[in-house]
A and B are shown apart, each in its own frame.
Chain A
C-alpha cells in the first residue's frame, strides 16, 4: 500500500512510509519522544537534526518535524546543544558596540567560513547577522535574525565557538527596548487607564443585563 523507504536512526535501519516526516518516522519506528520534540510545527527548535544520504558526501541539517524522510537517510538528532547564554540586566545595558564585546567577544573571532549560514534550518543569513552584531548594528541584526528558532545547529558547525542564536536574541531585545521608535498612543492609553478613565464605562457594561449586551454587540460599528 504505502511506499516504504529505509532510514537509519543513529545507525540502525528501519523501514518507514515515505510520506512521514523524520519525527513521524521515529515514532513509527517505535520511539516515544521526550527529547527532540516540541511544537511539531517548526517554531521551537527542539528537533534539530543532522543527516546524510547514503553515497552523498554532504552533511545536511533540518528540523525533524518539517522534513520528509528520504530513502537511505542516515539520521542523528541534536536535541540539545551547549550554547553560551550570558546573563545581563536589560534595564542596565545600552545598545552600544561595547555590550557585544563584553558579553560575546567570540563573535570577533569569526573566520568567515559561512558554515553557520549553510547549516541554518530556517535558511537565514547567519554570518551576515553576526557581522551586523560585530558592528553594533542591532536593528539590522534583529531583522536579519528575526525568524531564528534557536535550534543551535549553526553553533554546532562554528569553528569559532559562537552562540549565534543568543547573540541574535540580545540584539533583538536591544532593538525592541532601546532602538525601535517609542509608541505614543500606547503610552497615552496606559496613562488614561491608570487615571481611571474607562473604569465607569467598563463597570457599566459589566452590570448590564445580557439582553442589552446582545443588543449592543449585534449593532456595534465595525471599523473598515
Chain B
C-alpha cells in the first residue's frame, strides 16, 4: 500500500519506536508558540483574507472565500416572495439539524414551545455526527470548572468572551448528566467512573468519550429523542434568508426545498441559527474533515440581516487529517489517537514535538516539519508526517485500538492499512470555524432581536483556537440554553408585519460599495468534479 519512500521511512520509525514511546518531548514556551504560529499557521497568511466593505463588520478581514459569500447576491428577489402566504407558523424555528439544533429543539419543547427544525439535508447530517474524540467536562475530583476555564481561555489565546466561557465550563457536567439521562453511552469503568483522557492543551484528563464515535453516539440519541417527541423536522429544506418584522426583529425564514426548489415561508416568534461550520468552503485550498453541508450558511443569513461576526478570521486546522490514502484525504484522525499515546514522527523517525500541544500549535508545527525543515514524508501527490499508532498498543497493551478507536481501525483497514502494526500519515485539515455570530450569554445575537445562535455558528466561546472536546460540549450547552431562552422569550413576542426589506437594503449597500458579482449565497452545498475536464462549474 505505502510507496517506496514511505516504506523506507517506516523502517526508521520502527527502529526508534521503543525509545520514542517512552520519551516525553518538551512542551514549547509561550514565545516559541507565538513565533511558530506567526510563521506557519494559515490564519497568518495575509493574502488569504479580504476586508469586508459593507455590513456590521465593515473594515474587518475574513477569509477571501467567506468575504465573497457574505458580499454576494440573495437567492431570491424580495418582491417575488409572498410573505402573506405563511406555510409554517411556529414559536421557535430552529435552522439546522445537528447537535446544537437538536438540543435546542428538545429544550424548547420542554419549555412548551411549538418548535420546528428545518434542515437542508437530514437531521443528523452534521459535524456533530463526525466528532470522534470526546467531550470535555470538569467532573473529576482533581479537576474544577475553573481549571477547565483556564485551559480553554489560554488555549484560545485569551480571546474568548469570559461570560460565554463561564457558561461553557460551569454547565459542562450538567450537559454530560443530561446526555446520560437521554441514554447516551459513555466509556466507564465498572464502578461508573468515567474513563477520561487528555486532549491537546488540557491540564486535566477530562475528555469523556464513547469509543471514537462520541459525536455519532450523541447525535443519533438526540435525533431519536427529537423524533420521539414528535418535533416536526422539515428535511431537505434550506433556510435561504431570514425574515424580519417591521420592527427589525427576527420573525422567520424563507425556505427552499433542496430537490424541487419550491419556496416556502416560515413565520416564527424566535429563530435559532444552528447551521454549523464552514469546512466545505475549503479555505486556502485545504481539504476538510467537515460534513458535506458545512458552508457557513448561518453566517451569511445573519450578516445580511444585520448581525455581527466575531473572530471570523480564525479557523482551526486539525493537525491530523489523513494524508494518505488519497480516498480519505483530509478525513479526521481523532486527537484521541494522540491522547492514547501515539506521537507525531518525522521522516527520520524523530518525535519532533509534544503530541498534546493545542491544535493550532500542532498544525503549525507539522506544516513547519513538512516545509522549511524538509522532514515530511512524500506521498504520490502530497506530504505528511507519521502518527505512530502502534505506540498505543506498546503502551496500553494489545486490543486497545480495537476497543478505544474502532472507527480509525476500520477507516484505514478499508485501504489495507492495519494501524495496530503500521503508522499512518497525517497533515492538517480544515476542521472548525472558531469565529461566528456574536451573541450575548442568553444566546441572542447582539444586533438582531429574537435571533439566537448555538453551536459552531457562534463566535467568541473559544476565542481564537478551540480545544478538543469543547465543541461537542458547546453544542450541547449553548444548544440547550438557546432552546430554553427562546422558549421562555417567545411568550412575550408579538410578531409585526413580515418584511424582506433588509435584503433590498443589503443589495443597495453592495451597489453603493461598487460590489458587482454573479455569486449567490448562502452556498448550501459544494460542487466537486474531481478534475473532470468536461465539467466546469458553469455546466451546472
Contact = CB atoms under 8 A, between A and B. Distances in A.
Interface in B422-461: none
Interface in B235-282: 236, 258-259
B185 A180 contact: yes
Interface string A170-208: 001111110011111111111001000011011101100
11 contacts: A17-B531, A25-B530, A34-B258, A39-B129, A41-B332, A44-B129, A46-B122, A66-B414, A142-B185, A146-B211, A146-B217
A24 B191 contact: no
Interface in B13-33: 29-30
Interface stretch (A52-60, A86-94, A105-113, A127-135): A86-94
Chain B interface residue bracket vs A: 35 or more
A21 B327 contact: yes
Contacts of B188: 180-181, 183
A34 B158 contact: no
A39 B125 contact: yes
A205 B180 contact: no
B183 A175 contact: yes
Interface stretch (A5-13, A70-78, A153-161, A211-219): A211-219
B182 A147 contact: no
B289 A41 contact: yes
Contacts of B194: 183, 185-186
B528 A174 contact: no
Interface string A28-63: 111011110111111110100000000000000000
A150 interface: yes
Contacts of A187: 177
A45 to B, nearest CB: 9
Given A34-B525, A44-B130, A205-B149, A90 B185 contact: no
Contact of A223 (B204, B220, B230, B291): B204
Given A44-B125, A90-B183, A176-B180, A30 B220 contact: no
Contacts of B87: none
Interface in B108-156: 121-122, 124-125, 129-130, 137-142, 144-147, 149-151, 153-154
A67 B181 CA distance: 37
Given A90-B183, A186-B173, A42 B154 contact: no
B154 A214 contact: yes
Contacts of A122: 410
Given A190-B177, A193-B173, A206-B162, A27 B211 contact: no
A123 B406 CA distance: 12
A118 interface: no
A183 B327 contact: no
B292 A150 contact: no
A99 interface: no
A179 to B, nearest CB: 10
Nearest to B206: A223
Interface stretch (B39-47, B339-347, B532-540): B532-540
A41 B213 CA distance: 12
Nearest to B230: A87
A195 to B, nearest CB: 12
B224 A169 contact: yes
Nearest to B203: A222
Given A42-B407, A85-B227, A193-B145, A185 B203 contact: no
